[in-house]
Amino acid sequence: MIKKVAFCAVLAAAPSLVLAAEDPAELSLEDLVKTDITSVSRKSQSLADVPAAAFVITAEDIRRSGAQSLPDVLRMAPGVEVAQLDNGRHAVSVRGFNGRFANKLQVLVDGRSLYHPMFAGVMWELDPIPLEDIERIEIIRGPGAVMWGVNAVNGLINIISRPTSTQAGGAVSVTAGTQGTGSVYARIGAAPADGPSWKLSAQGRHAEPSRLHDQSRDSFDRYDSGLVDFRLDNEIGGGRDLSVWANASHSSIRELWNVSPSFSPAGGVSLTSATPKQALHQENLVARYRWLTDTGIESSIQASIGHASLTVDDFARENHYIIDLDYQGRHAVGQHDLLWGVSHRGTRDDVDTNQPYVEIAGEAKTLRQTGVFIHDDWTLVPERLKLGIGGRLDRATANGTQTSLNASLLWTPTRADSAWIKLARSPRISSRGERDISLLTGVSLIPVPGQQGVNIPLINHVTNNSDLGPEKMKGVEFGYRKQLAANLGADLSAYHQRYTDLRGAALLGMYGCHPMFAGLGIAFDPASCAHFGLPAGSPVLFSQSQTANNLAGTSRGVELAVDWLVSPGWRLQLSYAWNRIDMDNNNDPIARTSIAVSEKSAPHHFGSLRSQWNIGANQQFDAWLRGSAGLDRVNLTNLTPGAMGAATYSHVPGYVTLDLRYAYRVNKDLELALVGRNLIARHRLEYISDFIPTAATEIAPSWAVTARWKF
């Protein structure tokens, strides 16, 4: 289950309870709510002591959800917006600004960032960790840049793997379903009493192509992924431990691009479909050492080296290496609990693009980012009032020095009540792709006045801006947790966040490839047209813009979570979020489109109701009802002739859907489950891709059978 606030009093009374050594499937519903959280302040705390909108998804939640991908699991949390683009790709954000590369959310696996240095986001199609290996997922809604660095602007997701001491022996999980989906997971490990424990796991997933949303044919999103993960944990003694883990993963998926401009001297511009294959590979080696000094200072140092490559057929190839170093120390002095640390990330990339469709300034580049932080939790009134205050400095290539600040006040008048207010300032640094990449982003058709059926293509071309700087956010958050009864609790948070210097684009001008455009006041630029393979005389127009920090706006919202243990074997969990984004006016026509996209593409309401019912000692029945309001997405390609440069939008309807799961435990080692997903709203559409004109695919109902065996 999701560890929520329904049992704040229990958490406060027993903060040292440890569940790691037990099998979550064998724990009672009451036991499963007692896990502590570590991601808010980089130390173990109970929810009653956390001045943040926090939510935890446990291994039991993941198993009972029936989900096969990490983004689907994240749908459980209030304020986390998840939209499926196709079989492998998802858009995931917290508190708005969602997109294929949502850039204001920091995602970690055991403290290692998944933030892609090129695209400023997470590529969810590459499995970072098998779901079976996850102990819990800690989700912090709201800014967390002081603790976790720039880019943790709207939230943080920390995926924490299970310690190997709980993974001795072997395990196999096999899933087969409709729509041509299937997965296999296998693990083996050992946990001797007098030595280090270890585990080795592997996972593979497959999905056949889904159906295009317009039902014309199948899409091209056949998905395959594979992952191997090794971990070793060694309790050295004397307050010291060492962990080493390594993994390698890959994924491949095609997609259908609705319209791609094709240039030729004879035919000018034609609009064709493209089906590029995307291949991702990644390898990581991580080590973490923790120790306790004689003076009581707790210290931890983590180092990792990673390699990743991305290939999109006929368009781009990117290859990079990342080195991460992170140190933190902690020391309690009187009423002060001090935490400090330093981090460094170095990235070296090598990029090759298919010009002129995609171009990059500098095929190889080294980026560096160094940060230092300090934070103090100051107990003003024991067990009643606590002040938290912290700051961070980050120095990043092409972004200069950035400052992150936070201050929080936590009031716990009783063991059943917690209230907090939090102020924060968080930056998001611009990425290599945002600064250095130029690309064609869309095509529309303009009718020629007086000539029936004659249209002129208008190509949108966004050029790079090496001076693109960081985005900035200042926000305030209020929260209240209340244990209404021994078996009922609620968590309510409200926020107001102000953004400045947001990434947008500014119109540089228009030019045409035919001299006739000069008579319309549009520059005739044969040199630029020749760059795209178009000779002078081609009836083609280009709209040229440049990325810029020219947007600002406000996001505000309310999030609610309710946790009700109806009976010892039945739990209900409700989550709901309301969000609204209001952008400032801007006179630039390109910026106005970006403003509309930000405001229209965020659903105002979404939420879920989950039921977990233990029918008996060996049977479980789970139901998950969830839904979202509708949204509008800009059409990157528009083949309906219209006004010059005017953006058009497609509506993504709101939806309500249902997941069901029935599980039967044959014995303590074997469980069989039947899972139905997306059982309401056939042919449902959740999102339309941004930046890349990917054809929309449907999300259809599906059924799957899962067998889990431990030995």
State which amino acid sits at residue 6.
A
In a domain, 112, yes or no: yes
In a domain, 417, yes or no: yes
State which amino acid sits at residue 121.
G
State which amino acid sits at residue 390.
G
* Residue 408 bridge partners (DSSP): 388, 422
Cα(303)–Cα(606) distance, rounded to whole angstroms? 38
Cα(607)–Cα(598) distance, rounded to whole angstroms? 20
- Listed residue (33, 27, 36) closest to 1, CA to CA: 33
Cα(503)–Cα(540) distance, rounded to whole angstroms? 28
In a domain, 702, yes or no: no
Instruction: State the CB neighbour count (10 A cutoff) for residue 21.
Output: 9
Could you please report the per-residue DSSP string of 118-147? TTTB--TTS-SS-GGGEEEEEEEES--HHH
Counting as low any pLDDT under 50, the low residues of the chain are: 1-34
Instruction: State the CB neighbour count (10 A cutoff) for residue 294.
Output: 7
Instruction: List the structure tokens of 314.
Output: 């006929």
Instruction: Work out how many domains the chain is built from and give that number.
Output: 1
Instruction: List the structure tokens of 550.
Output: 């020219």
User: What are the counts of helices (DSSP H) followed by strands (DSSP E) for the chain?
Assistant: 7, 39
- Listed residue (107, 80, 108, 84) closest to 96, CA to CA: 80
Cα(547)–Cα(463) distance, rounded to whole angstroms? 7
Residues 581, 552 contacting (CB under 8 angstroms):
no
In a domain, 345, yes or no: yes
407: enclosing H helix or E strand:
strand 400-411
Strands 105-109 and 155-161, by their bridges, are parallel
- Give CA separation, 253 vs 147, 224, 311, in Å: 35, 7, 11
**DSSP three-state, residue 707:** strand
In a domain, 7, yes or no: yes
Cα(91)–Cα(697) distance, rounded to whole angstroms? 14
State which amino acid sits at residue 622.
D
Strands 541-567 and 488-512, by their bridges, are antiparallel
Rg of the chain (C-alpha set): 26
- Give CA separation, 573 vs 78, 159, 214, 594, in Å: 11, 21, 35, 36
471: enclosing H helix or E strand:
strand 471-485
Range of the domain at 380: 2-687
- Listed residue (113, 143, 147, 156) closest to 328, CA to CA: 147
Residues 465, 435 contacting (CB under 8 angstroms):
yes
- Listed residue (474, 461, 443) closest to 547, CA to CA: 461
Q: Decide: residue 687, CB within 10 A, 0-12 exposed, 13-18 middle, 19+ buried.
A: buried
Instruction: List the structure tokens of 668.
Output: 């303590």
In a domain, 700, yes or no: no
In a domain, 701, yes or no: no
- The reported pLDDT for the residue numbered 33 is 41
- Encode 5-51 in three state secondary structure: HHHHHHHHHCCCCCCCCCCHHHCCCCHHHCCCECCCCCCCECHHHCC
What is the reported pTM?
Answer: 0.91
Instruction: State the CB neighbour count (10 A cutoff) for residue 267.
Output: 9
Q: Give the number of residues written for the chain.
A: 711
Instruction: List the structure tokens of 490.
Output: 């609620």
In a domain, 679, yes or no: yes
Q: What angle do CA 347, 226, 692 make, to 5 degrees?
A: 60
Strands 257-264 and 241-254, by their bridges, are unpaired
- The reported pLDDT for the residue numbered 13 is 29
Q: Spell out where 293-384 has E strands.
A: 298-312, 316-333, 336-353, 358-360, 364-381
Question: Rounded to an integer, what is the distance from CA 189 to the centroid of its chain?
Answer: 30
- Give CA separation, 657 vs 81, 249, 605, 610, 683, in Å: 15, 32, 15, 12, 11
Instruction: List the structure tokens of 519.
Output: 């008579």
Q: Spell out where 240-276 has E strands.
A: 241-254, 257-264, 268-274
- Listed residue (520, 382, 499, 376) closest to 446, CA to CA: 520
Residue 373 exposure: Cα atoms within 13 Å on the Cβ side:
30
- The reported pLDDT for the residue numbered 456 is 84
CATH of the domain at 62: 2.40.170.20
- The reported pLDDT for the residue numbered 338 is 96
